[in-house]
Amino acid sequence: MRVFISLFLLISSTRLHPSWAQYHYQGLMNYLENRMQAMEERISVWQEQAVRYGVDLKEFRQQAADVMERLARDHDKLRQELDSAGGKVERMEREMDYIETKNPPPPCSKAEDKMVEQKPMGKMKKTGELRGCMDLVFSIKAMKILKRMGSPKGTWTRDAVTAKVYAFNGTADDTLYEFSSVRALSSSSDPRAITLPVFWNGTGHTVHNGQVYYVTEGSELRVMKYDLQNDSMADSAVFPVDDHSPVFSLNQETIVDLVADEEGLWALYGSKDKVSLARMDANTLDIEQMWDTSCPRENAESAFMVCGTLYVVYNSKPPSRSRIQCVFDVNDMVNAEEAPLLYFPRRYGTHSSIKYNPHEKQLYAWDDGYQILYKLSMKKKGVFVN
Ligand SMILES: *[C@@H]1O[C@H](CO)[C@@H](O)[C@H](O)[C@H]1NC(C)=O
Ligand SMILES: *[C@@H]1O[C@H](CO)[C@@H](O)[C@H](O)[C@H]1NC(C)=O
Ligand SMILES: *[C@@H]1O[C@H](CO)[C@@H](O)[C@H](O)[C@H]1NC(C)=O
């Protein structure tokens, strides 16, 4: 920059002092020539270095590529090994399911049985405390047939908080049975028979936090709440459905299905040809929010909720294999590809009810008179597993 300024001064002064200017011009030329020569030298040094760096960089790239390739090969091998191990475990589980189906466990099964034994949670969880849980059902890992209780249809479930087990035998009665544990039920020990002040209809009952929630069908449809701690009716409310048609076409006796999950109490009901969903306040029986889902009622036999996601179970008439074929997430966090089509282990009946226990992550199902447990495995919502 300085060079150009002096050049400008020089040119503007030539008119005034030609000889002085000529002298300075020569000096400037010498100066520029020297600078250029120095620059050329430096450029040639740079060039040399650049070539050397280029070679180095190429070598480095080659080495990095080699390392990456080796890593990728190892990763593939590891993955293949994992896949084949996973396949073996799955096959073994299927075989175990099959053997268990062929040989239902005798009443009074062995003492240590993780799937059956479950301690009470102890302290009560406030409604909403678990809101925002992220579990998505990934597979039905195992099945266990506990007992056959007589009526082809009915409901059994376990309170996730008190860990007591309840059975509703049939589709209309005023009595329910309380067992201290799943083992007490499977060994046919005498239950506590509880006679409710108002009868129940259908198979849509649930027990949540020491309260029975059930549906009574009179001229109107009522949701009842019965306190099991002091055996008294705690509350009731009219459930606002227009038509009293069954929520699942394969279970005609159930108009409203009450279900509990990590997030609290929900009601499933029919509107037009689809299953609809309402979030209920478990304390007051208020309806907080309602959703229409895209899940058809046709050929649906039952449904359950896990972490705010609805899973509708379908079958056919005559019964074939039950499968989860429609999923609806109230928070829009689950898309169709992420929720795989899941088949239940092969049986020859229809589920009249499927109740999820959030504490144990298993399903309590009533299938053609049998009381069955299904153990679920979970993955996280929004995380893809290839
Ligand atoms: C359940 O109901 C069926 C049909 O009404 C009856 O035969 C059976 O004895 C009942 N079982 C129990 C445990 O009450
Ligand atoms: C509901 O249950 C009551 C009592 O068992 C019964 O009399 C009534 O017929 C049932 N209603 C329906 C629609 O099944
Ligand atoms: C039963 O217990 C609940 C609290 O656990 C209480 O709110 C209710 O008033 C009790 N009902 C009767 C009739 O004692």
Q: Which of 291, 284, 344, 292 is nearest to 316 (CA)?
A: 344
Which whole number is the average pLDDT over 143-148?
93
Residue 303 pLDDT exceeds 90: yes
Could you tell me if the CB of 199 is within 6 A of ligand 2?
yes
Residue 189 pLDDT exceeds 70: yes
Q: How far is the CA of 13 from the centre of ligand 2 (A)?
A: 117
The fold of 119-380 is: Neuraminidase (2.120.10)
Q: How far is the CA of 215 from the centre of ligand 1 (A)?
A: 20
Could you tell me the strand order of the sheet in which 135-148 lies? 135-148, 370-380, 362-367, 351-357
Distance of alpha carbon 192 from alpha carbon 176, whole angstroms:
8
Residue 366 pLDDT exceeds 80: yes
Q: What is the pLDDT of residue 329?
A: 93
Which whole number is the average pLDDT over 11-38?
67
Best mutation site among 161, 208, 232 for ligand 3, i.e. most ligand atoms within 8 A of its Cβ? 232
pLDDT > 90 fraction of the chain, expressed in percent and rounded = 54
For strand 351-357 and strand 342-343, is the pairing parallel, antiparallel, or unpaired?
A: unpaired
CB 276 within 8 A of CB 291: yes
Q: Is residue 207 very low, low, confident or very high in pLDDT (cuts 50, 70, 90)? A: very high
Residue nearest to atom 7 of ligand 3 (CA): 234
Domain ranges of the chain: 2-74, 119-380
Q: Is residue 363 very low, low, confident or very high in pLDDT (cuts 50, 70, 90)? A: very high
Distance of alpha carbon 367 from alpha carbon 321, whole angstroms:
12
Q: What is the pLDDT of residue 273?
A: 94
| Phi and psi angles of residue 268, each rounded to the nearest 5 degrees, phi first | -110, 135
Q: Taking all residues of the chain, what is their mean pLDDT, rounded to a whole number?
A: 82
Could you tell me if the CB of 196 is within 6 A of ligand 2?
no
Write out pLDDT tens, residues 252-294.
Answer: 999 999 999 999 999 999 999 999 999 999 999 999 999 999 9
Q: What is the pLDDT of residue 38?
A: 78
Q: Which of 130, 133, 134, 131 is nearest to 382 (CA)?
A: 134
Best mutation site among 169, 187, 190 for ligand 1, i.e. most ligand atoms within 8 A of its Cβ? 169
Could you tell me if the CB of 170 is within 6 A of ligand 1?
yes
Distance of alpha carbon 83 from alpha carbon 79, whole angstroms:
6
